[in-house]
């Protein structure tokens, strides 16, 4: 295979060392990517549960499936537009999983079997079974969900990825067919195995490469069918991508700043503090989180999967000596506020005797959005209310809270309820 693509090693190297392309900006250095796997898996479990108990609605909007696809589209470039195939189009009656009860059940059974699968052959069999039902409008766009369930078995699938695939391998595969998807998957698995030392077991790395080729951000020497991209147009695309990456880096910096303030306040109030497991290596303004935070949460009386979800909460304050969780904070950026709410409610439901106070820390510009999310009936039903703190308030009053606070109730001065 390498003989037919003589420049692939060089193309991979260019892909990996260019900061604005998806390997560095999404696959390698995006902390939210790791959080997304657990949020999406939890969301798919909810979709299955809703279909089983008959509460899954006859529209995409406000459904548990919408939450799953929102988490996926938040992964930016590679998954942009992933939710569009799932919008309910009443004139076309597609995708036919909202009004057709049999098709809805087949879809739920498919997701449940894929969730429980312990080998890739099981998922392939379920794909073939789902395809045999011929559900209108439900094609391999579902692969974007499957990728987040089994990232080493199944690649995501969209127009840009298939364009890159066809361009690189000189094929003419089509977008809307499961059989085409499975053929593409086989080729991708073979290429990934050959170049694994350069890529990853996670098929997201190779999918990102195909995406960049497909949108014209990465040119492959020697491909006869590669369209001529005007230099000015390419530079414009890359400039736009660069701005997007810079904006994301600024968001990450703000996120770290808020975590630093929360860690600092918690320590000043006499609590043990813990940063999210995947953020412990971060720092802000020369202050490493590893010097402020415990390295790990204490062992909690919850299921291992729940413990892993709790360990990804941005900041947790613990009572010294007892290990009881006093406060938990999720810092939100441009990602879904609902995913942060979900992690906090998981904590509250799993440890009801801890009487934990829950907070969202949000940009001032998202105040109305957070209030709307916190008024969802499913959130109102939780025993522990979630309050929110504006970033500007936390930034402005950090020093005063440290100096004059006696315990966590000092946050009442800046926290707001709905």
Res 229: pLDDT: 52
Positive or negative CA dihedral for 255, 332, 37, 135? negative
Q: What is the pLDDT of residues 142-187, one digit of tens each?
A: 999 999 999 999 999 999 999 999 989 889 999 889 999 999 999 9
Res 410: pLDDT: 95
Res 1: pLDDT: 41
Please give the Cα distance from 35 to 103 (Å, whole number).
Answer: 30
Residue 335 confidence (pLDDT) above 70:
no
Q: Which residue has the higher pLDDT, 339 or 185?
A: 185
Give domain limits for the chain: 8-214, 248-413
Residue 75 confidence (pLDDT) above 90:
no
Res 399: pLDDT: 95
Tokens, residue 98: 């909202």
Which stretch of 57-71, 207-221, 371-385 has the lowest confidence by average pLDDT?
A: 371-385
Res 325: pLDDT: 93
CATH topology of domain 248-413: Restriction Endonuclease (3.40.91)
Say whether 380 sits in a helix, a strand or coil. Answer: helix
Across the range 17-25, mean pLDDT stands at 88
Please give the Cα distance from 329 to 274 (Å, whole number).
Answer: 11
The mean predicted confidence, pLDDT, of the chain is 87
Across the range 5-34, mean pLDDT stands at 85
| DSSP one-letter code for 94 | B
**How far is CA 50 from each of CA 65, 105, 114, 117, rounded to the nearest angstrom?**
10, 10, 17, 20
Please give the Cα distance from 110 to 108 (Å, whole number).
Answer: 5
Name the H helices within 54-177. 64-73, 101-116, 120-132, 143-149, 159-169
Q: What is the pLDDT of residues 92-124, one digit of tens each?
A: 999 999 999 999 999 999 999 999 999 999 999
Q: What is the pLDDT of residues 191-227, one digit of tens each?
A: 999 998 899 999 999 999 999 999 888 887 766 555 5
**Gyration radius of the chain's alpha carbons:** 23
């Amino acid at each position: 295979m390498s003989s037919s693509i003589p420049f692939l090693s060089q193309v991979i190297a260019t892909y990996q060392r260019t900061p604005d392309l998806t390997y560095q900006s999404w696959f390698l250095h995006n902390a939210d990517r790791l959080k997304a796997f657990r949020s999406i898996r939890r969301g798919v479990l909810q979709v299955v549960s809703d279909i089983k108990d008959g509460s899954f609605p006859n529209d995409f909007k406000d459904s548990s499936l919408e939450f799953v696809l929102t988490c996926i589209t938040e992964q930016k470039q590679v998954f942009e537009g992933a939710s569009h195939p799932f919008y309910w189009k009443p004139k076309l009656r597609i995708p036919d999983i909202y009004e057709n009860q049999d098709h809805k059940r087949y879809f739920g059974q498919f997701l449940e079997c894929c969730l429980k699968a312990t080998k890739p052959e099981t998922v392939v069999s379920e794909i073939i079974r789902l395809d045999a039902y011929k559900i209108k409008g439900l094609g391999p766009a579902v692969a974007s969900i499957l990728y987040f369930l089994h990232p080493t078995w199944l690649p995501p699938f969209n127009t840009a990825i298939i364009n890159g695939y066809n361009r690189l391998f000189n094929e003419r595969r089509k977008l809307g067919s499961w059989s085409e998807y499975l053929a593409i998957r086989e080729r991708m698995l073979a290429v990934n195995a050959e170049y694994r030392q350069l890529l990853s077991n996670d098929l997201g790395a190779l999918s990102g490469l195909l995406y960049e080729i497909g949108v014209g951000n990465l040119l492959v020497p020697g491909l006869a069918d590669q369209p001529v991209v005007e230099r000015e147009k390419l530079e414009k695309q890359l400039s736009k991508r660069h701005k997007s990456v810079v904006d994301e880096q600024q968001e990450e910096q703000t996120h770290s700043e808020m975590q630093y303030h929360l860690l600092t306040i918690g320590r000043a109030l006499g609590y043990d503090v813990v940063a999210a497991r995947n953020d412990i290596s971060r720092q802000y303004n020369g202050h490493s989180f590893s010097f402020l935070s415990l390295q790990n949460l204490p062992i909690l009386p919850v299921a291992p999967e729940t413990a892993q979800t709790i360990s990804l909460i941005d900041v947790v304050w613990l009572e010294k000596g007892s290990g009881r969780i006093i406060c938990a904070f999720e810092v939100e950026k441009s990602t879904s506020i609902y995913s942060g709410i979900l992690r906090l409610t998981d904590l509250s439901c799993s440890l009801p005797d801890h009487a934990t106070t829950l907070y969202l820390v949000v940009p001032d510009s998202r105040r109305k959005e957070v209030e709307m999310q916190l008024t969802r009936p499913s959130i109102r039903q939780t025993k522990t209310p979630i309050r929110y703190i504006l970033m500007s308030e936390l930034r402005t009053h950090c020093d005063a809270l440290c100096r004059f606070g006696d315990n966590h109730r000092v946050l009442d001065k800046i926290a707001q309820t709905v």
